[in-house]
Structure 1
Amino acid sequence: MSQRYRTIQIYLPNGDPTGIRIAELTTSIIRVIEIPRNLVSQFSKTDEANQVGFYFLFGGDNHNEVYIGQSGNLGSRLTQHSKNDDRDWERALAVVSLTNNLTQTHVLYLESISIERAKSCDRYTVINGNGGQRPHTPIPLRDDCDEIHEIASLLMATLGYPVFEPLVDDSKAEEREIFYCTRSGADAKAVYTNEGLVVLKGSRGLLNPTGKSRPDLIKARDRLIERGVIEVQGETTVFTKDWLFSTPSGASNAVAVMPSNGWREWKTFKGVTLDEIYRAEINQKADH
């Protein structure tokens, strides 16, 4: 996504930040509406509910599972999901046009590329049974859809659902600093981002910690094994994908399965800690 200034407004029709939220880019006709499952009936009474659009259902732990769909009548479709769907979803995002000009061809194509790109980014578990139906799409319409998808992605990320945002920007691979955690024989690599610390695919951790661990740390690591983020290989564990931790300590705890201070555990190739690079710089600026 191109990096330029954006102005986004978020409207709360009920005045409740945990209720329905409507996000718009001030220069675009695309609107994203976040709908709690218990407010689907309220949404179904709005004008947007009668539109053609595509949508996302979020569930699972920390809303990390997503179902992606499209419909000629969003209100009716989301009502069906709410009443009859056994999936454990709690929030829906509906993408519509302010001019109501999306067609079934638009949303079929948008559904298909959304499933494809969400799987490629691998932030969320996509629970669709198939990849959607991508119709024949003339080049002008396809270009329109790509622009719609880019704007929808931005609005979704602003609302807290970065489904299509890569964890690590590969276009800046030569610029980024790699941090290493080698505690007690671990061999893990990570990148520090705006969101936290991303442990990179192929990083190796400990299956059985050599020091004093804690049950909560073992349980947290085992949850990642159950989800397929980490797999067991002999006496070590291996990350099967890039994985974001909100804190450096959460990342080092998952690798070493022992209490740790991630700010000091993660170091550059030259041995400079994450703390020395980022927090020390903040402290120096504060002193001045």
Structure 2
Amino acid sequence: MSAPFSLRIFVADGDPDGLRIVDKSNWIGKALVFPRALLPQVKARPELAQTGVYLLLGPRPDGEGDMLYVGEGDPIRPRLESHYAQKDFWTRAIGFTTTTAGQLNKAHVQFLESRLIALARAAKRMPLDNANQPAEPSLSEADRADMEVFLGHMLGMLPVLGVHAFEQAPKVPAAKAGPVLTCKGKGVQATGYEASQGFVVRAGSQAVVAVTNAFNQMTGACELRADLLKNGVLVEEGGVLRFTQDYVFSAPSAASDIVLGGSTNGRTSWKDANGRTLKEIQMAEAGQ
């Protein structure tokens, strides 16, 4: 079970959409979050003169949704300046460094970069602009343990900052998650449950091969389905598609759209063992 923690967000220029500096309780690190347009001003910050790791996020050039680039710099500033000139897709950046200069070195941030890219590729929730998987540097046992702790703090903060690219579905429904639900029709059956990350469809669930004309008009759903097929989350097997891993969708309807290959209402498509729809379960829990 994750331990509770607090974040302090300092809005450095008074603009909630501008530069934000984020600290986490009992952690040596800090994050700088800012839009691309502010880099000419933000690059003078002393934090960007330090060694660190950073994320670039922005819309995909081929359609809806975001994509991600993970990088490291020793220091960060020249790398961000290079991306400002050469990478078009990104609209915001998150840089991670430490509260006191010198606590991270080149090998440390290379390790963090490698682990973040590997986690994003395993989660398959957002396309990566990184072409290669960098090798992990050689670290001492103590340094590696320290960087795993540093990484854990980063991964705890990122969902609060709106970045879910590194999250994998929990292996089993947590105590706070809802009951296991089933979505069936058109010769397929899938199981899933609600969790804090979204709606989780479980490995082994099925989805239809043929989709409806209405589905083909749903740009976001079509692109997500294409990504799931490309990434191997969905594979064709015996005339149906099968989920090779647990996968987190943004909402129950997003999940049932993929399973049934059409425009669906997830609150009525997903049902428990007694036949109650998710909508009925939620209404009962709300006392209605």
Q: Is the Cα contact below 8 Å between 1:64 and 1:123 reproduced in 2?
A: no
3-state SS, counterpart of residue 69 of structure 1: strand
Q: Is the Cα contact below 8 Å between 2:173 and 2:193 reproduced in 1?
A: no
Q: Is the Cα contact below 8 Å between 1:220 and 1:254 reproduced in 2?
A: no
Task: After TM superposition, give the deviation of residue 14 of structure 1 in Å.
Answer: 2.1
Once the two structures are superposed, the pairs formed by residues 72-111 of structure 1 within 5 Å of their partners are 72-86=74-88, 88-100=89-101, 101-111=103-113
1:124-179: CA deviation from partner (whole Å, max 9, x where unpaired): 23332222242221111111111111111112221111333322244859x87321
Task: After TM superposition, give the deviation of residue 108 of structure 1 in Å.
Answer: 1.4
- What is the alpha-carbon distance in structure 2 between the residues aligned to residue 45 and residue 182 of structure 1? 56
| Residue in 2 that maps onto 1:8 | 7
- What is the alpha-carbon distance in structure 1 between the residues aligned to residue 265 and residue 235 of structure 2? 24
Task: After TM superposition, give the deviation of residue 225 of structure 1 in Å.
Answer: 3.3
| Residue in 2 that maps onto 1:141 | 143
| Residue in 1 that maps onto 2:190 | 188
| Residue in 1 that maps onto 2:254 | 250
1:70-116: CA deviation from partner (whole Å, max 9, x where unpaired): 11121111010010124x22221110000112111211111122222
Q: CA RMSD in A?
A: 2.7
- What is the alpha-carbon distance in structure 1 between the residues aligned to residue 245 and residue 92 of structure 2? 26
Q: Per the alignment, do residues 76 and 11 of structure 1 end up closer, same or farther by CA in structure 2, a change over 3 Å counting?
A: same
3-state SS, counterpart of residue 272 of structure 1: coil
Q: Per the alignment, do residues 238 and 60 of structure 1 end up closer, same or farther by CA in structure 2, a change over 3 Å counting?
A: farther
Match of 1:150 among 141, 149, 152: 152
Q: Per the alignment, do residues 265 and 237 of structure 1 end up closer, same or farther by CA in structure 2, a change over 3 Å counting?
A: same
Amino acid at match of 1:35: F
| Residue in 1 that maps onto 2:224 | 224
Q: Is the Cα contact below 8 Å between 1:32 and 1:155 reproduced in 2?
A: no
TM-score of the aligned structures, taking structure 1 as reference length: 0.84
Q: Is the Cα contact below 8 Å between 1:65 and 1:127 reproduced in 2?
A: yes
- What is the alpha-carbon distance in structure 2 between the residues aligned to residue 184 and residue 151 of structure 1? 44
| Residue in 2 that maps onto 1:34 | 33
Q: Per the alignment, do residues 121 and 282 of structure 1 end up closer, same or farther by CA in structure 2, a change over 3 Å counting?
A: same
Q: Say which structure is richer in helix.
A: 1
Gaps of 5+ in 1: none
- What is the alpha-carbon distance in structure 2 between the residues aligned to residue 136 and residue 237 of structure 1? 41
Identity fraction in percent: 28
- What is the alpha-carbon distance in structure 1 between the residues aligned to residue 30 and residue 218 of structure 2? 42
TM-score of the aligned structures, taking structure 2 as reference length: 0.84
Task: After TM superposition, give the deviation of residue 231 of structure 1 in Å.
Answer: 5.3
Amino acid at match of 1:255: V
Q: Which moved more, 1:273-282 or 1:67-76?
A: 273-282
